[in-house]
């Protein structure tokens, strides 16, 4: 975990160490140390604060996700609503999701397990707020994904709904299909666009003008 506040790190350490299936392998108090420790330890998940000395969490996330030697490491950004505009940048740089700093301990532990298992951590309700904030303060994207044309009309529709923060169940309800069909459309779109996870699919949707 990377956070410049000692109290935050102490609390997270106590929480994670209380779980038999989780191990806290390292800590960092700034972005440079976060990158170095990730390179040295190859953790499954990094909890990354955004505002830190040295280099911030956005740059640290970019460096980690760009490093092929730690390709199995996933970054989860810790944030507050006051800095929502940074969250999209973190996702664009390769983060697998984000958590609010006031997330309850059980939800935080479950989130770590979810991301470690390869899922993207994008709470639909929180994603909507981030999407609204991003859309309100930035211009429209102008760089369509090079493989956008490979998507079927239904897949494009599903990607748009993912970018709006809808869960697979909500997409299924919206399109009058089964949740399994919804998951299949999402999975196929991810494969075609080369999206690492659902978080990156949201980024591609915005860059391609689908959202």
**Looking at residue 153, what is its pLDDT?**
95
Largest CA distance in the chain: 50
Q: CA 11 to CA 162: how far, in whole Å?
A: 33
- Enter the tokens of residue 141: 């994207």
Token pair in block for residue 162: 């993912």
CA distance 113 to 115: 6
Give the DSSP letter of residue 185.
H
* The residue count for the chain: 211
Contacts of 13 (CB under 8 A, 6+ apart): 1, 24, 27
Per-residue pLDDT of the chain (211 residues; tens, 9 = 90+): 999 999 999 999 999 999 999 999 999 999 999 999 999 999 999 999 988 988 999 999 999 998 989 988 999 988 775 555 676 778 778 888 888 888 889 989 988 998 888 777 765 555 556 556 555 655 554 678 899 999 999 999 999 998 887 888 889 999 999 999 999 999 999 999 988 778 788 888 888 888 7
Which residue carries 């190859």 as its tokens? Answer: 42
What's the pLDDT at 200? 80
**Residue 180 class from Cβ within 10 Å (0-12 exposed, 13-18 middle, 19+ buried)?**
exposed
Structural domains in the chain? 6-136 (3.40.50.2300), 143-207 (1.10.10.10)
In eight-state DSSP terms, residue 141 is: P
């Amino acid at each position: 975990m990377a956070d410049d506040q000692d109290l935050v790190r102490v609390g997270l350490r106590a929480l994670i160490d209380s779980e038999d299936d989780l191990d806290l392998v390292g800590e960092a108090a700034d972005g440079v140390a976060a990158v170095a420790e990730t390179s040295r330890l190859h953790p499954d998940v990094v909890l990354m604060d955004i505002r830190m000395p040295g280099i911030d969490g956005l740059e640290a996330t970019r460096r980690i996700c760009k490093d092929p030697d730690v390709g199995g490491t996933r970054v989860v950004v810790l944030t507050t609503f006051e800095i929502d505009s940074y969250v999209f940048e973190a996702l664009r740089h390769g983060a697998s999701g984000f958590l609010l700093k006031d997330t309850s301990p059980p939800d935080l532990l479950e989130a770590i397990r979810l991301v470690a298992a390869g899922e993207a951590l994008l709470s639909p309700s929180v994603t909507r707020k981030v999407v609204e904030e991003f859309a309100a303060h930035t211009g429209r994207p102008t760089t369509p994904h090079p493989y956008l044309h490979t998507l079927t009309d239904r897949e494009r529709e599903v990607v748009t709904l993912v970018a709006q923060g809808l869960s697979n169940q909500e997409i299924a309800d919206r399109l009058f299909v089964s949740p399994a069909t919804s998951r299949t459309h999402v999975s196929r779109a991810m494969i075609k666009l080369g999206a690492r996870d659902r978080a990156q699919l949201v980024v591609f949707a915005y860059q391609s003008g689908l959202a």
